[in-house]
Amino acid sequence: MYTDQQYKKDLEFIEKIDKNVSSKVVFFLYFFPLIACLAAHALYLTLFTFAGINPMVKFNIGSVGFYALLIILARYFKEKLNLIYASMAEIIVHAIAATVCVGLKPDFCMFLLMIIPLAFLVPNKKRIIPFIVMFISVPAYGILRYIYIIPGRERYDMSDSSYATLFYVINILIGSSVLIYVAMIFTCMHCYYDCKTRIQNEQLRSMASTDPLTKLNNRREMGRILNDVVNNSRKSGKGYIIGIGDIDDFKKVNDSYGHDKGDDVLSNIAKIITDNLPEGGYAARWGGEEFLFVLPDSDTEEGLVCANNIVKSVRKLRFKKSVTEFSVTMTIGICDGHPENNIEKVISLADSRLYKGKHNGKDRVVSTDK
């Protein structure tokens, strides 16, 4: 069961993320990957220069310039996702070119597969982009593996060179870093959206079960609560109390002071009922100016204490409309329920006692039929 404590915890987490992390999202999603790619290609440029692989030296000079330009554009470009798409395209082309030049041993083609999950995790506005990346990368990987699995087909033979091993180790480290980065982003996004979904579901549940004016349970939700109370009563053998209260002469309040002031009366009385309920009690707006409360595992004496406290507190309330001050009263009928009782009959009896109180002067609690 999703508790209020869990709801507050999730809400605090979401608010903290929205407040403190949102300003850093652009950096982590855009600047950080671009800077990392720039650094990686600067390293490749150095190693290819020492290894004498001139085509890849030229390629990486272009890549370094390309990422430097993207970093500059990222500060001014509104559609930053297009920069990420451009970097993905560069990674794919670089992986293909490097594999054609030096073969499979340095394993540049691993990036063709590693780019796929990253493409799906980027918050794409164009949902087709990740699939385009996948449909290019997977066939390219398969073709390169098929062609260059046979040694000697690459343009530069690095099979006996220590640079091949060095490139392989560096590529593994870069690839692992990419996977760790993807995993971190995925985990953070999963936690964030999981919390957000739980909060939204709870808010929808609350909207469906709560009276918007009084913030009490609505009649439908109270029906579910009463069903649980009755079932628990039959299991434990303990009784319960049903109370139904009605604001006396409420129509006069609306007619004399307006519906806005009537709403004010309802919300204030709802708060009084909530404040006077013992632990474990439930209250609902039963309809119009009528309220119902239930006290599980309680007897008539406890019900009378609760109901009388509510009536006394309502009597003390003061409302003001312009220069006119007015007050209201409330009448409550209560009935004790037992495990063998039908809940509808208990409610009906409490209701009849309420109207007995109405006919006998109002502003009172009635607990018997005498």
Nearest of 242, 241, 312 to residue 276 by alpha carbon: 312
Percent share of the chain, pLDDT over 70: 96
Please state the φ and ψ torsions of residue 362, each to the nearest 5 degrees. 65, -175
Mean pLDDT of the chain: 89
pLDDT level of residue 117 (50, 70, 90 thresholds): confident
Neighbours of 12 (CB within 10 A): 11
Q: What angle do CA 215, 220, 222 make, to 5 degrees?
A: 70
Phi, psi of 214 (to 5 degrees): -90, -15
Half-sphere exposure of 74 toward its Cβ, with a 13 Å CA cutoff? Answer: 22
Q: Residue 359 pLDDT > 90, yes or no? A: yes
Residue 72 has pLDDT above 80, yes or no: yes
Ranges assigned E (strand) in 222-347 = 240-247, 282-287, 290-296, 319-321, 324-326, 330-337
User: How far apart are the two ends of the chain, measured CA to CA in Å?
Assistant: 43
Q: Does residue 90 carry a pLDDT above 60?
A: yes
Predicted model pTM:
0.59
Residue 28 pLDDT level (bands cut at 50, 70, 90): low
Average pLDDT over residues 191-196: 84
| Rounded CA separation 180/78 (Å) | 28
- Which superfamily is assigned to 219-366 in CATH? Reverse transcriptase/Diguanylate cyclase domain (3.30.70.270)
- Shortest CA distance to 181 belongs to which of 36, 283, 43, 320? 36
Q: Which residue has the higher pLDDT, 271 or 82?
A: 271
Quick: pLDDT tens for 208-226.
889 989 999 999 999 999 9
Tell me, what's the pLDDT at 285?
94
pLDDT (0 to 100) of residue 193: 83
Q: What is d(CA 104, CA 164) in angstroms, rounded to the nearest whole number?
A: 9
Task: Name the segment(s) of the chain with CATH classification 3.30.70.270.
Answer: 219-366
What pairing do the DSSP bridges indicate for beta strands 324-326 and 365-366?
Answer: unpaired
